[in-house]
């Protein structure tokens, strides 16, 4: 970290993060945000039930291809933009300051909503587990608040501590799922092993738009590798390498694991099993193939998986806030770095407070932690991230066309262009099927855009609009600060 030239400035006011995270450590951070066991145990059963049934595993593969195309442009951009703001920084450099601020607020919506959705789910799981084994019933939101407190403590400290905790938890949850898949393969599954989940008829069955929403949601976090640029060792190599490792690893793992889940019950029976109780499908599968011990271990790891998820997203959000504060679009205090922990400690405290307030509001309105808090806000986050990545793809193309800093056609135009098309189509499908996810359907189960659907979708519009208005205000009232944004988020 560069030392401050003025001895009168306290160390806590340092604005630059530092560290020596390697590609593997960063991958642990972002893959933990994807929360492998939470996805296979929580999102995959819902994707099967509400999405396209036995064809759901194919959507992970499709999502991986789309996001890998997007990652090509993201990696190219990270080599030429030596700043940790990721989406909002890249959009600012490619499409200008106003679009950059709009992207910043859309990113904040994405990561805040996905984080709070998992806080709701982990609160439910902890409450359910306690009541199941001890008959003691406590409200879900109490456990959510306890988890927020623990995450806040870890997020306040140095990033290396969080990466070590996430690494251990990630290895454990990936390991138990791998053992399950191996058990299914060696036993031959319920009806024999097949590629039925990848047959076109199964892929397009049911509500593929809802299934695609759950599939893309499983990848949220991989793109945040650039957020850790200031804390990476040799970032020009580490960040692109970590980005590719994350999206390829996540795609292969989810596709294989969800295929194993379908094979465990059989393509014809898995939908009925998911309908019986999607929340317990992974535990019942573990019990059937690995016995009671496997079920108990999985239950414990499901809780730690969700904890790893919220810890990782907490780190991502605090660094987004830190980058935005350094750019002058959030209060300057959020750009502070702790003198001992070298962490964005003020930003971490603010993010902890935000989560507490949101959980308190959800508890006050007596929202269901899974069917409302988790499902609704995971849907908002997924749509927002698809739009955000599509916008970033355009920014990548425009930036390299204007600057000619990288003339590789595939990396700077073709791959980002194909990624953009895939993301736009994905966003359109998610919007079309969004009412099904929140329960706005008619008597026949067809999607109907009601008040709840419009309210949640409006969030994806309101936040970037706030960014545009903020840009206009800064330009009119603080022209010097607006000019400073040129060095922070725009070329």
Would you state the pLDDT for residue 187?
Answer: 95
Residue at 318 is within a domain? yes
Sequence-ordered strand ranges (E) for 225-290: none
Residue at 3 is within a domain? no
364: exposed, middle or buried (C-beta count within 10 Å: 0-12, 13-18, 19+)?
exposed
Both structure tokens of 240: 């692109």
Both structure tokens of 78: 């990270």
Residue at 324 is within a domain? yes
184 vs 180, 265, 313, 443, CA distance in Å? Answer: 6, 9, 32, 38
Distance CA 210, CA 41 (A): 17
Would you state the pLDDT for residue 166?
Answer: 64
Is 97 in contact with 104 (CB distance < 8 Å)? no
Is 155 in contact with 162 (CB distance < 8 Å)? yes
Would you state the pLDDT for residue 5?
Answer: 30
1 vs 15, 154, 317, CA distance in Å? Answer: 10, 21, 21
Nearest by Cα to 434 from 455, 424, 449: 449
Question: In which residue are the tokens 């938890």 written?
Answer: 169
Residue at 482 is within a domain? no
Q: Which SS3 state, helix, strand or coil, does residue 316 take?
A: helix
Residue at 173 is within a domain? yes
**Alpha carbon of residue 422 to chain centroid:** 18
Distance CA 25, CA 287 (A): 32
Is 385 in contact with 42 (CB distance < 8 Å)? no
Residue at 476 is within a domain? no
pLDDT in tens, the chain (491 residues): 332 232 333 334 444 444 555 566 667 666 766 678 888 988 899 899 989 999 999 999 999 999 999 999 988 887 887 665 567 788 988 998 889 889 989 989 998 998 999 899 899 889 988 988 888 999 999 999 999 999 988 877 655 555 566 667 778 888 899 999 999 999 999 999 999 999 999 999 988 988 998 899 888 877 666 666 665 666 667 778 888 888 898 899 999 999 999 999 999 999 999 998 887 899 899 999 999 898 888 888 888 888 878 887 888 788 878 877 877 788 888 877 766 656 677 888 999 999 999 999 999 999 999 888 988 998 899 999 999 999 999 999 999 999 999 889 999 999 999 999 999 999 999 999 889 888 887 777 777 888 899 999 999 999 999 999 998 998 888 887 776 664 544 44
Question: In which residue are the tokens 């969700």 written?
Answer: 306
Residue at 10 is within a domain? no
Enclosing H/E stretch for 377? helix 375-403
Total number of domains in the chain:
1
Q: Which domain holds residue 187?
A: 23-434
Is 255 in contact with 267 (CB distance < 8 Å)? no
CATH of the domain at 233: 1.20.1740.10
Nearest by Cα to 174 from 80, 272, 76, 35: 35
* DSSP label of 162: H
Is 145 in contact with 353 (CB distance < 8 Å)? no
Residue at 35 is within a domain? yes
């Amino acid at each position: 970290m560069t030392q401050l030239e003025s001895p009168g400035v306290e160390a806590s006011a340092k604005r630059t993060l530092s560290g020596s995270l390697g590609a593997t450590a960063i991958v642990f951070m972002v893959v933990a945000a994807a929360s492998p066991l939470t996805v296979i145990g929580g999102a995959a059963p819902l994707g099967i039930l509400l999405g396209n049934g036995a064809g759901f595993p194919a959507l992970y593969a499709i999502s991986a291809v789309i996001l890998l195309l997007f990652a090509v442009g993201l990696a190219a951009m990270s080599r030429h933009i030596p700043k940790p703001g990721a989406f909002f920084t890249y959009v600012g450099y490619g499409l200008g300051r106003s679009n950059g601020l709009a992207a910043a607020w859309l990113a904040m919506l994405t990561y805040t909503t996905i984080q709070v959705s998992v806080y709701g789910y982990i609160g439910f799981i902890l409450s359910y587990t306690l009541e199941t084994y001890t008959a003691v019933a406590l409200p879900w939101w109490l456990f959510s608040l306890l988890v927020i407190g623990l995450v806040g403590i870890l997020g306040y400290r140095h990033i290396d501590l969080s990466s070590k905790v996430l690494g251990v938890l990630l290895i454990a949850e990936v390991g138990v799922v791998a053992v399950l898949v191996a058990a299914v393969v060696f036993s031959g599954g319920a009806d024999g092993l097949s590629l039925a989940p990848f047959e076109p008829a199964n892929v397009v069955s049911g509500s593929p738009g809802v299934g695609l929403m759950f599939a893309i949601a499983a990848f949220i976090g991989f793109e945040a590798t650039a957020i850790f640029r200031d804390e990476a060792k040799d970032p020009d190599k580490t960040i692109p390498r970590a980005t590719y490792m994350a999206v390829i690893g996540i795609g292969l793992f989810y596709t294989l694991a969800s295929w194993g889940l379908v094979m465990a019950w059989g393509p014809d029976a898995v939908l009925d099993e998911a309908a019986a109780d999607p929340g317990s499908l992974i535990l019942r599968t573990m019990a059937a193939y690995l016995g009671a011990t496997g079920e108990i271990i999985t239950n414990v790891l499901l809780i730690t998986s969700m904890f790893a998820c919220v810890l990782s997203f907490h780190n991502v959000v605090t660094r987004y806030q830190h980058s935005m504060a350094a750019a002058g679009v959030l209060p300057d205090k959020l750009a502070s770095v702790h003198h001992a922990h070298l962490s964005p400690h003020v930003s971490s405290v603010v993010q902890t407070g935000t989560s507490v307030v949101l959980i308190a509001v959800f508890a006050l309105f007596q929202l269901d932690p899974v069917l409302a808090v988790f499902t609704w806000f995971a849907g908002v986050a997924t749509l927002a991230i698809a739009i955000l990545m599509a916008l970033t793809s355009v920014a990548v193309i425009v930036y390299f066309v204007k600057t000619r800093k990288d003339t590789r056609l595939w990396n700077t135009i073709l791959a980002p262009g194909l990624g953009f098309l895939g993301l736009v189509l994905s966003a359109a499908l998610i919007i079309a099927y969004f009412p099904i996810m929140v329960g706005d359907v008619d008597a026949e189960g067809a999607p109907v855009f009601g008040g709840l659907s419009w309210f949640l979708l409006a969030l994806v519009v309101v936040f970037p609009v706030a960014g545009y208005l903020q840009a206009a205000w800064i330009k009119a009232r603080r022209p010097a600060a607006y000019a400073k944004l040129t060095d922070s988020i725009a070329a």
